[in-house]
Chains A and B, each alone.
Chain A
Amino acid sequence: DAKTTQPTSMDCAEGRAANLPCNHSTISGNEYVYWYRQIHSQGPQYIIHGLKNNETNEMASLIITEDRKSSTLILPHATLRDTAVYYCIVSPQGNQFYFGTGTSLTVIP
């Protein structure tokens, strides 16, 4: 399975864009990039996913590099409620989701 590398922690000022990077240099052609977040000890929540193209939804944008070896999750206007652990996962067509340790994002007032 492809593995991902994320920074352990990041801070972001409230109202600013939060850019969370993820490296997945061994990603295979049929593997999607997923992002989830976990607030406190709640069950993780799906944010967005993509294969090759950049994606945007009401929560975030996902930018995938052309070689697919890295991606960035963008929260355009971070709020205090976005403070959470963010997980980047690569998975072949939604089979077997393996979570790493994620990035702990703190949004600062």
Chain B
Amino acid sequence: DADVTQTPRNRITKTGKRIMLECSQTKGHDRMYWYRQDPGLGLQLIYYSFDVKDINKGEISDGYSVSRQAQAKFSLSLESAIPNQTALYFCATSDPPRTAPGELFFGEGSRLTVL
């Protein structure tokens, strides 16, 4: 089983619908991240959370919200989806840096299409 699991893996929805992408991890990491990737481009950071009570905006948070339900779960919501939110979404986790900086571990991605 994957250490970082994203659901759903694929979703097609219509403009204006509310969508939730879920991420769960079994790595025991405190830090979790949501990224968006448009076709042919790099990853953009949407939100990140360093622990259950900590939520931070990334580069492109407008139109998105998140919820950190537990250490292992971090959900991304699109309250009213629009076509330019069509993208591949990645969840990632990391450990806090202690003696060495943490590295990111990614899920397999959730492909969202908004019609």
Q: What is the total number of residues of chain A having a CB less than 8 Å from a CB of chain B?
A: 23
B97-A97 in contact (CB<8A): no
Question: Which of B43, B48, B102, B111 is most buried by chain A, counting CB atoms within 10 A of its CB?
Answer: B43
Tally A-B pairs: CB < 8 A. 58
Chain A residues within an 8 Å CB radius of B102? 94
Give the chain A neighbours of B43 by CB distance below 8 A: 44, 87, 99
Report the minimal beta-carbon distance from B87 to chain A, rounded to whole angstroms.
11
Question: For the complex, what is the distance from the CA of A98 to the CA of B94, rounded to whole Å?
Answer: 14
Residue ranges of A at the interface with B (Cβ–Cβ < 8 Å): 32, 34, 36, 41-46, 49, 85, 87, 91, 93-102
Residue positions of B touching A, CB distance < 8 A: 4, 33, 35, 37, 41-45, 48, 58-59, 88, 90, 92, 94, 96-97, 101-109, 111
